[in-house]
Amino acid sequence: MAKYAILTSGGDSPGMNCAIRAFTRSMLYQGHKVVGIKRGYSGLLNKDFVNLTASSVGNIIQRGGTILQSSRCLKFHEKKFRKAAAQKLEEEKIKGLCVIGGDGSFKGAYALYNDFKVPVVGIPGTIDNDISGTEYTIGHDTAVQTAVEAVDKIRDTAFSHDRVFLIEVMGRNSSSLALKVGICTGAENVIVPGNEIPYQEIGDKIKKGEERGKKGSILIVAEGGKEGRSYNIQKELQDRFNIQSKVCILGHIQRGGSPSAMDRLIATEMGVLASQSLSHFKEPMVTTYTAGEVGLTSFPQCLTGRSENIEAQIELTRILSI
């Protein structure tokens, strides 16, 4: 019998609890013990540990957020603190660590292995779906659904008052969330990060819509790393085309909520696979979802930055919003 630990780090996402539950129960099933580390790498440095049992991970499969809580821990960027973390794990005779989080959290886990040979496994958990090496990250589906429901409500007002709405969705520098929300809500435009904003095209489309009696328009704006970008876009539309609009920033509403069935399923499969990878450790691996199946890949594959092909989705938005 051996002891393993699990933590959640970075931004929380719906489905993290499903992964904690599955990892824990699968480890117990194999005859091992599991320690939960509170508040990510901060809790590791403070030795904020709790024993996880089959019942302590009961009744959490439907809950958003993470029962272990999460944090951002600047100290973990420094090798001396990662060394302290490795020592704490050794003191507690913990044989390996499972990290649920985004690519930042994975960099921390991989450094812990590279510098101090701590066996690690990663589970991708972020609403942004912005990790290379996997087509899916836990929480994305739920976040898309939450945003779609919110946009549907706003469209009622956009229609009733002939109004243009700029609705800003989360996703850091990733366009995944914005594009899916745009397609699923029939948005007139999706403004993704990175590219120059095609104001003329946007202005022309809104005007054209108005001319043919269109009642209200919805533009989905990807936040692009910094919340509030929509206010600049609102001003440009006003100054350049005399188009008045309302801004709605969905914000953290998109991070919470009960995970969708898809998130529960994938998180559960990933949790079990992560536990098996760690208990039969050969090298550090990350659980992935590719071509409809859960699998494993190496950490470097997941740290190259998201290479999602968004062109097809951008084209789809263009075709459907004529």
* Active site amino acids: 128
Min dist. Cβ of residue 99 to ligand ADP (A): 8
State how beta strands 120-124 and 285-290 pair. Answer: parallel
C-alpha span between 280 and 228 (Å, rounded): 46
Give the dihedral of Cα atoms 32, 114, 299, 223; nearest 10 deg: 110
Q: Is 108 in the site for ligand ADP (CB under 6 A)?
A: yes
x-or-dash pattern for ligand ADP, window 64-103, by CB under 6 A? Answer: --------xx--xx-----------------------xxx
Residue from the set 17, 26, 66, 105 that interacts with ligand ADP by CB under 6 A? 105
Question: Given the structure tokens 């946007």, which residue do they identify?
Answer: 202
Please tell me the count of residues contacting ligand ADP according to CB under 6 A: 17
Backbone phi and psi for residue 278, each to the nearest 5 degrees, phi listed first: -75, -40
Q: Is 111 in the site for ligand ADP (CB under 6 A)?
A: yes
Closer to ligand ADP at the Cβ: 9 or 217?
9
Min dist. Cβ of residue 18 to ligand ADP (A): 17
Closest C-alpha to 138, from 129, 125, 128:
125
Collapsed DSSP state (helix, strand, coil) of residue 83 = helix
> Contact at 8 Å (CB) between 31 and 280?
no
Closer to ligand ADP at the Cβ: 30 or 71?
71
C-alpha span between 199 and 13 (Å, rounded): 33
Residue from the set 8, 66, 126, 217 that interacts with ligand ADP by CB under 6 A? 126
> Contact at 8 Å (CB) between 155 and 133?
no
Residue from the set 8, 10, 124, 263 that interacts with ligand ADP by CB under 6 A? 10
Could you tell me where the beta strands, DSSP code E, fall in the chain?
3-8, 33-37, 49-52, 94-101, 120-124, 164-169, 189-191, 217-222, 245-249, 285-290, 293-298
Closer to ligand ADP at the Cβ: 85 or 164?
85
Residue nearest to ligand ADP (CB): 104
Min dist. Cβ of residue 51 to ligand ADP (A): 24
Q: Is 299 in the site for ligand ADP (CB under 6 A)?
A: no
Min dist. Cβ of residue 146 to ligand ADP (A): 18
C-alpha span between 128 and 255 (Å, rounded): 10
x-or-dash pattern for ligand ADP, window 29-68, by CB under 6 A? Answer: ------------x---------------------------
Contact footprint for ligand ADP (CB under 6 A): 9-11, 41, 72-73, 76-77, 101-105, 107-108, 111, 126
